Structure 1
Amino acid sequence: MKKRLIALSASAAALVLSLSACSGDTGDGAADPKTPSGPAISHIHGVGIHPSDGKLYVATHNGVYTPDEDGRPQLVGDRKDDFMGFAIGEDGKFLASGHPAPGRDAPANLGLIESTDKGRTWQDRSLSGEVDFHAIDQAHGTIYGYDSTNGLLRVSKDGVTWEKRGELRALDIAVSPGDPDTVLATTESGLARSTDGGKTFGPGAEPLMAHVSWTAPEALYGIDPAGRLNLSADGGKSWKEVGTVPGGQPQALTAVDAGRLVAATQDGVYESVDAGKTFTKRLDVSSGGGH
């Protein structure tokens, strides 16, 4: 029992650090050194697969990147903003938030921004200057965003008009694909659950997860602060450890479907096509914190 408590305390400490990192960070202008393998990327805040062509996109502290034909990271577009919350919808549109790159004339908090051309260009949608979304999820024709600036969940049908919902301190959120009223949030005390669309959340409870992703009703994935990947087939009531994502502390997790998922850790972006049993590295990452 003592060893378990020590392990839980260490995991909780790691999650607290993740919750604190990059909150209100406007970017440090970190160098983007050129190496034989291409630009170095770090501080990943989101990963996604485009539904039209299966291409990987990685949102980082210094722009959005995608692998070239040789697997080297290539900057998409010309904006090196600090992309925080990031999601690719079923319609292929990118939604994101964060902070502008150093020297760019823009509010410190970008609010919700959108790209309809796979990240080459971006348009302001709403809440510019007001909100930094650290987590974004889309389900049931609705956008769910965790507003880290104010510590609450916001919900919008059109990405312009938002409803304020429950207050909490979270790192990631996931919405049930079968029930718009069921929302999970990863907190420093464990998974917090809402059954009223995020208006209220219960107390955090074990297991402690850093990131969650819920694309199929029978496949809720969660990755703990140590990188252990867990799967729940009953909406989080019970969990089974299915594998470990290589590379240390996790930075992002996205399930594409019940068997395919992408996860970012401190040394790489990894993909699994067998429900987390095995992983293939898609991109190298310079060690750095996530959110």
Structure 2
Amino acid sequence: MPNSRRARASPLVGVVGATLIAVLLAACSTQVSDDQAGQSGAPSMPGVEFATELDHLHGLHVNADGTVLAGTHRGLFAIGDSGDTVQVGDSDDDLMGLAGATGSDTLFSSGHPGPSSSAANPLGLRTSNDGGRTWTDGSLAGKVDFHSLATDGNTLVGFDGVSGVKSSKDEGRSWESGAALEVASLALTDTGTWAVTSSGLQYSSNDGRTFTDATGAPSLVLIAGASDALWGVDQDGFAWRSREGKDWEKRANVGAVEALTAASYDSAYAATSQSLYALH
């Protein structure tokens, strides 16, 4: 990443800065009749292009000062309001999983050690309380690589690509095994756990031990939650939002994005390795 700077990013204006807000206003001016689920159209959402392409984007998070953070193959990066990408801290670990409660500097990650690391492979769960500048070992080192992680600040749920869903009630110090599902994406809301699977969106009210079909949901490939809000992106690249899985609204067309995070019912962010999209 020769054009990236190893430094702390400056806070973004209004979460994503004046540049992205201007993009939003232009896009939302066409968003009049496309909010109802089931309608075929939704406006295309222009993104803010990154100054330097990120390497294998795995996850997004909005930290305490409103900065959007991206977990990548080469560590954690902060995204500036004009698309500049700044490495956070010194870690070059491959962050296959990244999660944090929106608006918090407490982060959880998983994956594999980078070239400069002597940590166990896989990393298990790691924790940061300073927005990703430093990390400490949590649990499952050398045992688990969570491909998907979600947290509401208390509960953690994860999927390691092998043994199904795991959940923790103590910030990842101990874990319980849950449903033996193949999961593409996980989210937590006030009422429970949501999982994107090959058979569609599923819901659990018991911390991932059992799941049932979430009827009426679009065919999602990514999902994210915050409080009572769910945001998702479907297989055709359309972004949707819902309150607790009810009355899904089609919001915009962002294309084949790689990561998604929800800030609230009124705000979410999706990204590829080249662009960030702000959703409202």
Query: Could you tell me whether the CA contact under 8 Å between 2:92 and 2:116 is conserved in 1?
Result: no
Query: Could you tell me whether the CA contact under 8 Å between 2:53 and 2:274 is conserved in 1?
Result: no
SS at match of 2:58: strand
Question: Distance in 2 between the 1:84 and 1:128 partners?
Answer: 14
Give deviations 1:126-146, integer Å, cap 9, x for gaps: 110111112222227222222
Query: Could you tell me whether the CA contact under 8 Å between 1:146 and 1:154 is conserved in 2?
Result: no
Q: Does 1:263 align with 2:276?
A: no
Structure 1: runs of 5+ lacking an equivalent: 1-31, 276-291
Structure 2: runs of 5+ lacking an equivalent: 5-49
Query: Could you tell me whether the CA contact under 8 Å between 2:68 and 2:79 is conserved in 1?
Result: yes
Q: Counterpart of 1:78?
A: 90
Query: Could you tell me whether the CA contact under 8 Å between 1:111 and 1:125 is conserved in 2?
Result: yes
Query: Could you tell me whether the CA contact under 8 Å between 1:134 and 1:147 is conserved in 2?
Result: yes
Q: Counterpart of 1:220?
A: 230
Superposed displacement of residue 114, structure 1: 0.8
1:199-238 aligned at under 5 Å gives the runs: 199-202=209-212, 207-217=218-228, 219-233=229-243, 235-238=244-247
Superposed displacement of residue 207, structure 1: 2.5
Query: Could you tell me whether the CA contact under 8 Å between 1:153 and 1:167 is conserved in 2?
Result: no
SS at match of 1:77: coil
Q: Counterpart of 2:258?
A: 251
Question: Distance in 1 between the 2:104 and 2:86 partners?
Answer: 23
What number of residue pairs does the alignment pair up? 234
Q: Counterpart of 1:22?
A: none
Q: Does 1:142 align with 2:149?
A: no
Which residue of 235, 239, 244 maps to 2:248?
Answer: 239
Question: Distance in 2 between the 1:183 and 1:101 partners?
Answer: 31
TM value normalised by structure 2: 0.75
Give the counterpart letter for 2:277 in structure 1.
Y
RMSD across aligned positions (CA): 2.4
Question: Distance in 2 between the 1:115 and 1:162 partners?
Answer: 19
Q: Counterpart of 1:194?
A: 204
Give the counterpart letter for 2:263 in structure 1.
V
Give the counterpart letter for 1:236 in structure 2.
G
Give the counterpart letter for 2:235 in structure 1.
P
TM value normalised by structure 1: 0.73
Taking a change above 3 Å as real, the CA distance of residues 192 and 109 of structure 1, as seen in their structure-2 partners, is same
Query: Could you tell me whether the CA contact under 8 Å between 1:113 and 1:122 is conserved in 2?
Result: yes
Give the counterpart letter for 1:227 in structure 2.
G
> Share of identical aligned residues, percent?
34
Give the counterpart letter for 1:201 in structure 2.
F
Question: Distance in 2 between the 1:152 and 1:118 partners?
Answer: 26
